[in-house]
Amino acid sequence: LGPTVTVGEILVEIMATTVGSGFLEPQSLIGPYPSGAPAIFIDQVAWMGGSAGIIASVGSDDFGMLNIERLRRDGVDVSAISIIDDKPTGSAFVRYRPDGVRDFVFNIAHSAAGDIRMTETARTLVERAGHVHIMGSAFAIPGVAEVLDYAIKTVKRRGGSVSFDPNIRKELLDAERGRTLLDEIIAVTDLLLPSGEELLAAAGETDEAAAVTKLLDAGVNEIVLKRGRDGSSFFGRDGKRADCPAFIVDEVDPTGAGDCFGATYLTCRRMGMEPERALLLANASGARNVTRQGPMEGVSSLANLEAFITATTTENA
């Protein structure tokens, strides 16, 4: 029906090379790596062989060009990435603590990423799209609501579908506005891709089963729950459910696992695979991503995933 399109922040990530807390003294860094949840997601769609495009904005600097060139090389339609002359590309500095918690310093809202709006090239991309993927992380950018509104209406009118990863950064959105937005988006979502806490927050429930029932009743067709080191679960209509244990891997860098997981599940389903097969491949995609340093460096092709599944055991294998 047309490409999978997403909207949101593109940035570079620069990582501390040592484990510890924060950036209160000079230290060794590695990067820049191409990043931004929507960028990782759409790159993984292209790696799976899906047609893919992104609406975003970067500065006219090396950080912006690094991202555009990477996405272009991997097969993503970059025609709707605007280049903003007077603002730098967004960036995130990250350091891992010993327990895996991440400390961030972000420059997104005041960077070129904050300038996303409905351009002519964005309109052209949306009018060809068969699917729109919504990222909660992008809600902090003012122009994104207008672009999403147009994208959802246009894609639905053409008989296309919508997926939603509610990775909302609570500190960037006030609670009341967050609730209204969530309800509006869930009402148009076909595939929901939350992680544990996000499932409960999306439904406004405290119990997993009640949250699943409520969201399916609200019109969501499929819920795929990400459980980190505990794997993932699929919930569909008529009580359909599948669980997939996690693959056992050495986690080097967890950033991007959920995005690779979601992009793989969605692309497999759009290619006509059954939910169980899509879930297994998505699980492999998330696990494979965490074994590589850099948010977008662990993206996988279908052949990579099949080889990984053959070579790797799962928790209860």
Interaction site with ligand ADP (CB under 6 A)? 195, 226-229, 231-232, 246-247, 249, 251, 254, 257-258, 261, 283, 286-287, 290
Least separation in angstroms between CB 18 and ligand ADP: 20
Cis preceding-peptide flag for 32 (omega within 30 of 0): yes
Least separation in angstroms between CB 125 and ligand ADP: 25
> Beta strands 131-135 and 222-226: pairing type?
unpaired
**How is 82-130 classified by DSSP, letter by letter?**
EEETTSPPEEEEEEE-TTS-EEEEEE-TTSGGGG----HHHHHHHHH-S
Least separation in angstroms between CB 279 and ligand ADP: 9
* 109/172 Cα distance (integer angstroms): 10
* 171/166 Cα distance (integer angstroms): 14
Under 8 Å between Cβ of 258 and 167: yes
Helices (H), 139-207: 144-157, 175-186, 196-203
Least separation in angstroms between CB 196 and ligand ADP: 8
Residue whose CB is less far from ligand ADP, 63 or 247: 247
* 181/136 Cα distance (integer angstroms): 10
Residue whose CB is less far from ligand ADP, 155 or 260: 260
Least separation in angstroms between CB 153 and ligand ADP: 27
Least separation in angstroms between CB 71 and ligand ADP: 20
Tokens of residue 271, six digits: 């290619």
* 10/41 Cα distance (integer angstroms): 11
Least separation in angstroms between CB 294 and ligand ADP: 15
Least separation in angstroms between CB 107 and ligand ADP: 21
Tokens of residue 175, six digits: 């609670």
Under 8 Å between Cβ of 257 and 308: no
Residue whose CB is less far from ligand ADP, 150 or 235: 235
Residue whose CB is less far from ligand ADP, 69 or 251: 251
Tokens of residue 98, six digits: 């010993």
Residue whose CB is less far from ligand ADP, 53 or 231: 231
> Beta strands 131-135 and 4-7: pairing type?
parallel
* 3/294 Cα distance (integer angstroms): 26
Residue whose CB is less far from ligand ADP, 102 or 153: 102
Residue whose CB is less far from ligand ADP, 74 or 259: 259
Residue whose CB is less far from ligand ADP, 91 or 232: 232
